Structures are given as C-alpha cells and as structure tokens.
Amino acid sequence: MSIKIENLTHVYMPKSPFEKLALDNVSLEIEDGDFVALIGHTGSGKSTIIQHMNGLLKPSKGKIIVDGIDITAKGVKLTDIRKKVGLVFQYAEYQLFEETIEKDIAFGPKNLGLSDGEISERVKRSMEMVGLEYEVYKNKSPFELSGGQKRRVAIAGVIAMEPKTLILDEPTAGLDPKGRDDILKQIQRLHKEYGMTIILVSHSMEDVAKIALKVMVMNHGKVVLKGTPKEVFKEVKTLEKIGLGVPQVTYLIQALRAKGFKVSDNAYTIEQARDEILKSLVENK
C-alpha cells in the first residue's frame, strides 16, 4: 500500500479576499513500511497535506492515490479511506469525551458496525499497542491520566480502526521530556513491531533525526528537500535559509571539525555523535 500525491495544489477560500495558496503543485510518494517525517515551519502546508491523505480536504488540483485508488474520484467513501489511513490530530487528547478509556477507544470501531466481540478485541489490541495495560486502564476515566497517557488513549482510538498507515501531527507537542520520549518510543514500536507505515509531522529536528527513516521538508506549500535524515541534514544552508537549522549535535560536530578535530560528520543524534567522537579519539591517538 502506498500514498501517491500527484501535482497537488490546494487553495483555501478561493476567489475571496482571503484566498490562500497552501499547497503549490506538490508530488510525493509514501511507500508501504516507510517512516517519514514531514518537517517545516508553521504555515508551510504540513497540516493541509496530511488532511488530503485521508480525504478530509479535497484538492483544488491534482490527485491522491491511496493503495491504487484515486480518493478524489466520485463515489469513494471516506470511511474506506479512514480504514487505511488513520490521522491523529495535534493535541488529540482534547477530543476524548467518554467516561471510560474503553468506551472512548471503542467509539470508532462501533461506527464501523462491528460486533461487540470484535470491538472489544480491537480495544484490547490497540491499548496494548500503545503500552496501556487493558485491565488496569479500561474502566478509568481518560481525564484521570497524565498528558502523555491521555495522548496514548487518543492514538489508540485511531489505531482501533486498524489503519495500515498512521499519520501523527506533532505528537510530542506540549509534553515534558519524559512524555515526549515515551510517545516517540511507542510510535517507533508501531512501525517496527506492528509494521505500520508512519508519517510524523514534527518541527523537532532532534525527534526526526532519532527515529525517521526519511525526511521531507516543506516550505511555502512546496516540498523543498526529500531523502534520508543524513541526506537532508547535509543541506545545512538550505535548512537555515528557511529557518529550520539542523540538530544541535550536528552544529557541535561541525564546530569540532572547524577546529581541526578529525571527526566524521555522519552524526545527527547524541548517540551517533558520541560514537563518532570516541572513534576519532581512538583513530587519532
């Protein structure tokens, strides 16, 4: 299953004084099993593009092909797309509303008209997938939980629809460092252990360097860079020009190299930087 976007243009409020070109002839492909980070400044078009991927927004021009089906064609049911592509909004926990966690997660599957047994199975499975023990949490109110746990319940609610692809819009926003690390680990697990295709919207270079396999950088409604984190973070000038920069440790490595320290610049996370620095100390002894 892949998501192909072909020449997608989106204009908000066309032919009005507030007309805004949010996406400008964007083409990209997300392949089955990918872990893609979409990065860019506020207003660069990230939310607009992801809302096209599950049919919430319709293109002004262009096509979106999900699993071989043009989802912009007439007669395509949104529920069919949502079963394939799940979208976790920013601060998704604000949308929790049921009195128990179990009921909240069951809400989506219920709307699919599944049997009670299947709904219950899905709730259990999706809670396990986000690291919430079913027996401990099922009867608790979502409002008794910490911020990070609430967010996991919201993610479980989307996973319970059993999408093959999961899109998460800034899933670490507003969490403390521990909550952030926990959520990133869970997302990584969804990719590694459950084989989900992940699209992560983020503006944290550190998060992206840690977990994404591919990076797409957006600016003013266009995708301006695409590649592995290594390929993208090499483009320091372009990234700085659009005000994004690279992970902090990358600057550290560059500063060391500028001072004549013979260390490889193949380091975008703290762990990689540590390894490269230790390696260079041994090699240059």
- Give the binding site for ligand ADP (CB under 6 A): 12-13, 20, 22, 40, 42-48
CB of 268 to ligand ADP, least distance (A): 22
- Asked if residue 71 lies in contact with residue 275, where contact means CB atoms within 8 angstroms, the answer is no
Residue closer to ligand ADP by CB (options 103, 203) is 203
CA distances to 82, 188, 258 from 161, in Å = 8, 19, 51
Q: Lay out the sheet containing 165-169: strands in order across.
A: 85-88, 165-169, 197-202, 35-40, 214-219, 222-227
Residue closer to ligand ADP by CB (options 23, 155) is 23
Residue closer to ligand ADP by CB (options 21, 114) is 21
CB of 118 to ligand ADP, least distance (A): 35
* DSSP letter assigned to residue 261: -
Burial of 111 per CB tally in 10 Å (0-12, 13-18, 19+) = exposed
- Asked if residue 214 lies in contact with residue 33, where contact means CB atoms within 8 angstroms, the answer is no
CB of 45 to ligand ADP, least distance (A): 5
- Asked if residue 274 lies in contact with residue 252, where contact means CB atoms within 8 angstroms, the answer is no
* DSSP letter assigned to residue 17: T
CB of 8 to ligand ADP, least distance (A): 12
Distance CA 187, CA 92 (A): 15
Q: How far is CA 255 from the centre of its chain?
A: 31
CB of 240 to ligand ADP, least distance (A): 18
Residue closer to ligand ADP by CB (options 7, 141) is 7
Residue closer to ligand ADP by CB (options 83, 220) is 220
CB of 89 to ligand ADP, least distance (A): 11
CB of 116 to ligand ADP, least distance (A): 38
Buried b (16+ CB within 10 A) or exposed e, 247-264: bebbeebeebeeeeeebe
Residue closer to ligand ADP by CB (options 238, 264) is 238
Residue closer to ligand ADP by CB (options 149, 219) is 219
Distance CA 78, CA 64 (A): 13
